């Protein structure tokens, strides 16, 4: 919502100021009772107990929870749209759909595709980012391929899998204007370790995934700089007693963050407990891996041969399943969709936690953990 005063000066900042009252606040590291959140011009000013400053719009949500806006670092689209479509309008539509579920910041993700398709999609996302519409804020771009294993390609296009050349990468870096933040690599590919170091040197997160790597190959990749596992368990070599495989290596590498699609379809919920114990709540990041069907159907669809085509469950649904099956308490579980992805990207002072000076990206949940309201940079959008 935006208005212009008679003088032509935007009053938008007024819509970005207010006071949220009546909630239990999860920062998420701290739980704060009997306080409200004061925000001005899109930023959090602080937590105060009762007296609301004059001229402040009060949003009362008695008995609800106030938590940081969610962050999804791996999703491909929504509402019939794949970011690979490469148009600004479609990117805006997908980003708006995700915002409604509480995802206030995100890292749109591009699957394996021909070079020109990827370039066009990146340009469209960067332009969509500037939109005046209420959309999830783009805080990076995630390239899931094309440097992946054909044996573990999932639904990725086999024809477009290729070795990334320095030339292609330089061009991508140039057009992405510093926004390319995550790239998935299969460590067993020729030149992968050099590529992982190349990414790491440029502050880009090398994520291991869509991989048939052995335990040794994955451990070498972790040593070379891998910081993240692309949807742990899915599309990677599993654990055997004498060959712990890519999965075993990623599980025992304490510093490596793990993405997890906790929709109950991609990974058996019994493994939520295992991964929560092994990785700890600090290194777990829930992702939707949203397909274009996100927002249009309740369960993920499959190809003819049974391969799952991305996810359709929004992050709050995954949060509930994670809590049900992992034994994690709300404070810890919340980290996996707020603070952890922010910390991975080095943005934790601005997004992913409620603290003084941070963006007023705030989600109000009811006691069933269903989304009641969403504030994006202080503006109520749901």
CB atoms within 10 A of CB 31: 13
Q: What minimum distance in Å lies between the beta carbon of 311 and Zn ion?
A: 8
Distance CA 103, CA 99 (A): 5
Q: Which residues contact 305 (CB under 8 A, 6 or more apart)?
A: none
Q: What minimum distance in Å lies between the beta carbon of 310 and Zn ion?
A: 6
Which residues in the 80-119 window bind Zn ion by CB under 5 A?
none
Nearer CB in complex with Zn ion: 21/84: 84
**Bridge-based pairing state of the strands 205-208 and 43-48:** unpaired
First-residue to last-residue Cα distance in the chain: 11
Which residues in the 144-163 window bind Zn ion by CB under 5 A?
144
Window of 24-32, 64-72, 136-144, 346-354 that interacts with Zn ion by CB under 5 A: 136-144
Nearer CB in complex with Zn ion: 101/289: 289
Window of 23-31, 139-147, 268-276, 356-364 that interacts with Zn ion by CB under 5 A: 139-147
Window of 16-24, 96-104, 142-150, 240-248 that interacts with Zn ion by CB under 5 A: 142-150
Nearer CB in complex with Zn ion: 82/332: 82
Catalytic residue chosen out of the listed positions 14, 72, 85, 289: 289
Q: Which residues contact 198 (CB under 8 A, 6 or more apart)?
A: 166, 169
Q: What minimum distance in Å lies between the beta carbon of 278 and Zn ion?
A: 22
Distances (CA, A) of 60 to 2, 6, 201, 370: 22, 31, 47, 16
Q: Are 276 and 327 in contact (CB under 8 A)?
A: yes
Nearer CB in complex with Zn ion: 215/233: 233
Nearer CB in complex with Zn ion: 137/144: 144
Count of residues engaged in binding Zn ion, rule: CB under 5 A? 2
SS3 (DSSP) at 377: coil
Q: Is 89 labeled as catalytic in the residue annotation?
A: no
CB atoms within 10 A of CB 368: 8
**Bridge-based pairing state of the strands 24-26 and 31-32:** antiparallel
Q: What minimum distance in Å lies between the beta carbon of 214 and Zn ion?
A: 23
Distance CA 8, CA 24 (A): 39
Window of 37-45, 127-135, 140-148, 301-309 that interacts with Zn ion by CB under 5 A: 140-148
- Vertex 179 angle, CA 173 and 182, to 5°: 85
CB atoms within 10 A of CB 52: 14
Of all residues in the shown chain, the one whose CB is closest to Zn ion is 289
Of these, 289, 293, 359, 361, which contacts Zn ion (CB under 5 A)? Answer: 289
Nearer CB in complex with Zn ion: 117/369: 117
* Residues designated catalytic: 289
Binding site for Zn ion (CB under 5 A): 144, 289
């Amino acid at each position: 919502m935006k208005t212009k005063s008679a003088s032509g000066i935007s009053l938008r900042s007024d819509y970005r100021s207010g006071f949220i009252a009546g909630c239990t606040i999860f920062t998420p590291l701290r739980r704060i009772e009997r306080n409200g959140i004061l925000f001005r011009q899109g930023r959090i000013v602080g937590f105060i107990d009762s007296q609301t400053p004059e001229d402040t719009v009060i949003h009362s949500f008695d008995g609800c929870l106030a938590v940081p806006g969610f962050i999804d670092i791996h999703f491909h689209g929504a509402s019939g749209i794949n970011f690979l479509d490469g148009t600004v309008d479609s990117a805006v539509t997908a980003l708006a759909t995700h915002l409604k579920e509480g995802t206030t910041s995100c890292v749109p993700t591009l699957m394996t595709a021909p070079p020109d398709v990827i370039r066009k999609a990146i340009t469209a996302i960067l332009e969509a980012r500037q939109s005046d519409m209420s959309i999830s804020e783009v805080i990076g771009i995630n390239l899931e391929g094309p440097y992946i294993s054909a044996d573990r390609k999932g639904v990725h296009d086999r024809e477009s899998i290729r070795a990334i050349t320095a030339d292609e990468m330089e061009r991508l870096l140039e057009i992405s204007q510093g926004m390319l933040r995550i790239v998935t690599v299969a460590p067993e590919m020729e030149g992968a370790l050099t590529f992982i170091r190349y990414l790491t040197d440029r502050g880009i997160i090398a994520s291991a995934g869509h991989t048939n790597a052995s335990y040794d190959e994955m451990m070498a990749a972790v040593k070379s700089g891998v910081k993240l596992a692309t949807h742990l368990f899915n599309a990677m070599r599993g654990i055997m007693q004498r060959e712990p495989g890519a999965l075993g290596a990623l599980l025992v590498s304490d510093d490596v963050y793990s993405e997890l699609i906790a929709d109950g379809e991609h990974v058996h919920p019994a493994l939520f407990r295992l991964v929560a114990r092994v990785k700890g709540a600090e290194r777990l990041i829930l992702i939707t891996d949203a397909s274009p069907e996100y927002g249009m159907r309740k369960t993920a669809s499959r190809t003819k041969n049974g391969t799952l085509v991305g996810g359709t469950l929004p992050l709050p649904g995954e949060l509930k399943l994670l809590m049900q099956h992992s034994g994690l308490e709300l404070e810890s579980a919340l980290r996996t969709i707020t603070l952890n992805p922010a910390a991975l990207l080095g943005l934790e002072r601005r997004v992913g936690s409620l603290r003084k000076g941070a963006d007023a990206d705030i989600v109000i949940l009811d006691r069933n953990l269903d989304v009641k309201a969403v504030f994006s940079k202080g503006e109520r959008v749901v």
